[in-house]
Amino acid sequence: MVFLVTGAGGFIGFHLSKALLARGETVIGIDNLNDYYSPTLKQARCDQLKQSKGFIFYHADITDVSALEVIVQNHPDIQIIFNLAAQAGVRYSLENPYAYIQTNVMGQVAILEMARQLPNLQRIFYASSSSVYGLNKKLPFSEADRVDCPSSVYAASKQSAELLSFTYYHLYGLKQTGLRFFTVYGPWGRPDMAYYLFAKAITEDKPITLYTGQNLSRDFTYIDDVVDALLSLLECSHLEDYGIFNIGNSRQEKVEHLVSCLEENIGKKAIINYITRPGTDIEATLSDISAIYNVTGWSPRTKLSDGVRLFTNWLKLYNGFFC
């Protein structure tokens, strides 16, 4: 099959592309390799993918309509789109909200318009986020919950993308599956995320910042489990024409437990500074993954302690290279 993977130089896009290429698929990758975090890391991911003959890379932005038109002309046989490109980061959306509307909203529209021009397209899978649950207090978060109280511009941009995708399904019949990811971590991960920042700080004997609160916790989801979830949806023969799934570990882990796992694997104690949690950050996340389990039989397998060990083993090889 022929796949288009946007954000191929990103964390999830890279790992998914590797898995598809290992299966003998053709992957058309697109990424603008921006400097929100280390372009060197993004380039290193792409360099790995380029070692496969089945990988074709376009250095372009998904909002560049002319670049997307070239891809349509060159690859009209694209059958599946994984739109994983995004402007990530909750707190950065306070500093640069325009970037989130441009990439996560305008980019979603551009990919949807592109999809309409592909004669062999079967389905679009697109990245959303657990952040869309916003100020909801009920745990675990379920796909049936209301998502109309976002706590950040990032969350609002992701919810906007979901609404646009449903609209294009309704208007044009584009089959689509939304993916609400819950705190994905692992080797080759994003250096702006807490687990990565904590690990580097502990390694370098620098302080880390934790937020105060009794229930500061996350549903940490290991990258290999995420890829398995995406492949299970891809292989499912009875997906609804439109739907949204939580992709999480379905375990609520205190952030302090994450720090303990990092300390154990790095062999150093963390220097911790506590501050009040900002309003953009959700206090706790936990995924209800019964929907994807009922449809595909997928469930995560990686415990946080095992995932952190695999991540820190990778970091020991590359620490300082990408930052």
Domains of the chain: 2-182+221-249+287-301 (3.40.50.720)
Predicted TM-score of the model (pTM)? 0.95
223: closest CA among 307, 305, 126, 313?
307
Are the C-beta atoms of residues 111 and 6 closer than 8 Å to each other?
A: yes
Tens digit of pLDDT at every position of the chain (323 positions) = 999 999 999 999 999 999 999 999 999 999 999 999 999 999 999 999 999 999 999 999 999 999 999 999 999 999 999 999 999 888 888 899 999 999 999 999 999 999 999 999 999 999 999 999 998 989 999 999 999 999 999 999 999 999 999 999 999 999 999 999 999 999 999 999 999 999 999 999 999 999 887 788 999 999 999 999 999 999 999 999 999 999 999 999 999 999 999 999 999 999 999 888 877 777 889 999 999 999 999 999 999 999 999 999 999 988 766 55
Query: What are the backbone dihedrals phi and psi of residue 55, each rounded to the nearest 5 degrees, phi first?
Result: -105, 130
Confidence at residue 234, expressed as pLDDT on a 0 to 100 scale: 98
Which single residue is written with the structure tokens 């206090």? 283
Question: Catalytic residue positions?
Answer: 154
pLDDT attached to residue 166 = 98
Give me the DSSP letters along 294-315.
Answer: HHH-------HHHHHHHHHHHH
